[in-house]
Chains A and B, each alone.
Chain A
Amino acid sequence: MTSTTLARTGEPATPPNSPKSRPAGGRVRATARTRRAWAGWTFSLPFLVLYAVFELVPVIASIAISFTDMRSTDLRDPLAVDPAGLDNYSRLLSDEVFWKAIGNTFYFTAVSVPLTLVLGLALAVALNSGIARFKTFFRVGYYLPVVSSIIAVAVVWNYLLKDDMGLINTALGWVGIDGPDWLNSTTWAIPALIGMAVWRHMGFAMVIFLAGLQGVPKEMYEAATLDGTTKWQAFRYITLPMLRPTMLFMVVISMIGNLQFFEEPFVMTQGEPLDSTTSIAYQIYEAFGTGQYGYAAAMSYVLFILIAGLTLIQFRLLREKP
């Protein structure tokens, strides 16, 4: 294994112990460099092997599969599938459910990302505002939804969102609101899933913002206080600008995550009612589950391009200095 890795480095491939390397004048130096190359590639090897098998091959394969009509029955002999040309892609264009899934995914992302970030930031700022007691307690408590299995979360939320006796509608009833039948309403199902997603993810945003806030020098606030700024001004003109890198990082990460929005519809609604909660990722899973690998791969590829494109745009923004 090691000899192949060496060859790949483009280094003059002389293993340290081969007779050729001995008489050289700059022996120590050459040996040190070769040794470093050796060590570097050996340490990288496990990752590289896993990357090649479970990342590189799948990425290439997904392109190839998307141009075939591969089905689950072809698994025994994956190379013998029939080419389908652009059939899968043209089918996508006329697949109304897929377009609906794209719309739902963007709707979900557009509401859920800002909500999660604003709430996460608010929590982080509150925890960082100089309160001395229960800090750890709050931090852990707000983080619990993040560490909880979606399966367990689904069991509870199914009950919370029930029409007549769910805790949420009961609570709404106290303030005189007649809550909808959340998960069976084409209007309210996505908002319900958004609420669930925000609840699940804002703890993560909080922790990342907390880490970011620790990088803001205390002296800046002290100076501002001496100058007589209000709390809001300090937040607006010190905290927010200083958090810019963290903010952009969180926008990118949450966006990538939300565009792959899958678990909520999978465990809560299975895309129902009337495909109003179907997401792109859920569509991929359904096509995969029904054995239409070629079609699923084509959809995956569209999703991939969508995410990669949006990520690239955001990285451009990330690099811009304020």
Chain B
Amino acid sequence: MSTPMSLRIDTGRDRPPQEITPDRPERGQRWVYVVLAAGLVVVCAPFVWMVLSSFKTEKEIYADPPTWFPETPGFDNFSILLDKLDIPQFLFNSVFVATVTTLGNLLFCSMLGYALAKIDYPGKKFIFGLVLSKLMIPGIALLVPTFVVVASLGLVDSYAGIILPGLAAPMGVFLMRQFIQGLPDDLIDAGRVDGAGEFRIFFRIILPLCRPALATLGLLTFLASWNSFLWPLVVAQSEDLYTLPVGVALYSLDHQNAEYGLLLAGASMLVLPIIAVFVYFQRHFVQGIATTGLK
């Protein structure tokens, strides 16, 4: 886990399979490609169909047999949906909530991760136990009491109510602790000898070294927050506070017989931005999983 991350990519390239026997692995590989590609088509077909169909007319969506490519592609579904729902507001809420949640987690998880990994203080084991317990307590079982708590704090129907409970996720603490444990002690000791306070050490030495882990944690948190649905649905009661998933979901639940094209357009708007974010940052993601010690 403490292996430098740059070492672990491209495992296949430096050891060509020809080493074993000249012919067999080649053919075996071709089969691997065929199976993987076929599986990928099955897995991704729903997305492709969703995006393509959001440009179709209602009539074409229900055509029998179903078509793949829209005959007369148009943005009607999108423009009607933008008319009916306050999409810009939902979008703003989603981005705002996800951004604040991400920043909070980056700071708080790495703070506690640093303390747990590198500071020797009384009560440390106990706090780590709390982190683990939080990992294990099922979220849905706490839905009701958490809502009661948030309500008694007067935070129902506010950004704070949506954001605060998810601001220090235990998974993030765990990830940061694992990563920081792998950093050499010498750097920190040198800082301490130089008389730097723990805060200085944390912000000046530790955080910059954590960049890869922070990228992973940031991506994971942003994805989770963007897609989180139940809690925002419960807390946000006025339309001004709906996140994009809540807005689209309530619309589709309220209008079971709504034009399907509109729902597809909503779904595409929900998925395409996050896929773009994920594809752009995916490199950090796989590297990070390998460093969390999840294996």
Contact = CB atoms under 8 A, between A and B. Distances in A.
A44 interface: yes
B122 A11 contact: yes
A284 B266 contact: no
A260 B295 contact: no
A155 to B, nearest CB: 4
B245 A36 contact: no
Interface string A48-67: 10110111011101100100
A284 B143 contact: yes
Interface size class of B (residues with CB under 8 A): 35 or more
Contacts, number: 300
A214 B290 contact: yes
A140 B278 contact: yes
A23 interface: no
Interface stretch (B8-16, B78-86, B207-215): B8-16
A46 B143 CA distance: 22
Contact of A138 (B40, B49, B120): B40
Contacts of B25: 130
B236 interface: no
B140 A208 contact: no
B87 interface: no
Nearest to B21: A225
Most A C-beta atoms less than 10 A away, residue of B39, B131, B173, B285 = B39
A46 B139 contact: no
A292 to B, nearest CB: 10
A314 to B, nearest CB: 11
B183 interface: no
A298 B162 CA distance: 24
Contacts of A262: 140, 230
A150 B229 contact: yes
Interface string A19-44: 00000000000000001110111111
Contact of B198 (A39, A284, A293, A303): A39
A44 B115 contact: yes
Contact of A54 (B115, B121, B165, B226): B165
Interface string A281-320: 1001100100001001100110110011001000000000
Contact of A288 (B12, B138, B144): B144
Contacts of A123: 36, 39
Contacts of B260: 159
Contacts of A165: 62, 64-66
Interface string B145-184: 1111101110000000000110110000100000000000
Contacts of B167: 46, 50
Contact of A144 (B43, B109, B131): B43
A59 B130 CA distance: 13
A11 B120 CA distance: 13
A319 B110 CA distance: 28
Nearest to A303: B141
B271 A149 contact: yes
B127 interface: yes
B279 A140 contact: yes
A281 B47 CA distance: 28
B43 A59 contact: no
Contact of B168 (A46, A149, A156): A46
A304 B137 contact: yes
Contacts of A118: none
B282 to A, nearest CB: 5
B134 A149 contact: no
B141 A160 contact: no
B267 A151 contact: yes
A75 interface: yes
A78 interface: yes
Interface in A210-234: 210-212, 214-215, 218, 225, 231
Given A39-B121, A142-B43, A147 B278 contact: yes
A150 B252 CA distance: 13
A151 B252 contact: yes
B55 interface: no
Nearest to B274: A147
A132 interface: yes
Interface in B188-243: 197-199, 202, 223, 226-227, 229-230, 234
Given A41-B123, A131-B12, A165-B66, A284 B47 contact: no
Contacts of A75: 148, 151-152
Interface of B: 8, 11-13, 15, 17, 20, 25, 28-29, 32-33, 35-36, 39-40, 43-47, 49-50, 62, 64-66, 107-109, 111-112, 114-116, 119-124, 127, 130-131, 134, 136-149, 151-153, 164-165, 167-168, 173, 197-199, 202, 223, 226-227, 229-230, 234, 244-245, 248-249, 252, 260, 263-264, 266-268, 270-271, 274-275, 278-279, 282, 285-286, 289-290, 294-295
Given A167-B46, A211-B295, 17 more contacts: A9-B121, A37-B122, A39-B198, A43-B198, A44-B112, A44-B127, A54-B149, A58-B146, A61-B148, A130-B25, A152-B270, A208-B295, A211-B286, A246-B294, A263-B230, A284-B144, A300-B143
Q: Which 4 A-B pairs have the closest CB atoms?
A: A40-B121, A152-B267, A58-B145, A39-B198
8 contacts: A46-B112, A47-B108, A48-B130, A55-B134, A130-B17, A148-B47, A155-B266, A214-B290
